[in-house]
């Protein structure tokens, strides 16, 4: 006998989500135009995401020259800046994302080594 109770389907959905080991990453990269520094940051973060998070991330690139009001809302004081919004905790990484170990630690994909 099947139940049409919406609470049963909600419970099943919540259990499926809880059982999922895959995290979904929401990232926002703030850059300033198409400078070499900005382009390098975009290329580096895309490469890292495709290598470590393929299919489990959303990356938004925000050009602060085109949308300067977003810098104030996110308290951006340097660019490029990557903000990892999800999964929590929120993290900020500043620079061209060329230090792969630092980037992986910032994204919680690797443990910090001394």
Where in the chain are the domains? 23-106
Percent of the chain with pLDDT over 70: 78
pTM over 0.85: no
Residue 48's CB: how many other CB atoms inside 10 A? 19
User: What CATH number has the domain spanning 23-106?
Assistant: 3.40.30.10
Burial grade of 94 (CB within 10 A; 0-12, 13-18, 19 or more)? middle
d(CA 34, CA 63): 8
Stronger pLDDT, 55 or 110, i.e. the higher one: 55
Percent of the chain with pLDDT over 90: 68
* Mean pLDDT, rounded, of the chain: 85
pLDDT of residue 106: 94
């Amino acid at each position: 006998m099947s139940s049409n109770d919406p609470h049963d389907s909600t419970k099943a959905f919540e259990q499926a989500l809880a059982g999922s080991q895959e995290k979904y990453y929401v990232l926002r990269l703030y850059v300033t135009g198409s400078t070499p520094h900005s382009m390098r940051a975009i290329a580096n973060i895309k490469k890292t995401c495709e290598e470590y998070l393929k299919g489990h991330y959303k990356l938004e690139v925000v050009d602060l020259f085109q949308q300067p009001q977003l810098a104030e809302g996110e308290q951006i004081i340097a660019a490029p800046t990557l903000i990892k919004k999800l999964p929590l905790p929120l993290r900020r990484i500043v620079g061209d994302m060329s230090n792969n170990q630092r980037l992986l630690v910032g994204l919680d994909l690797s443990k910090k080594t001394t």
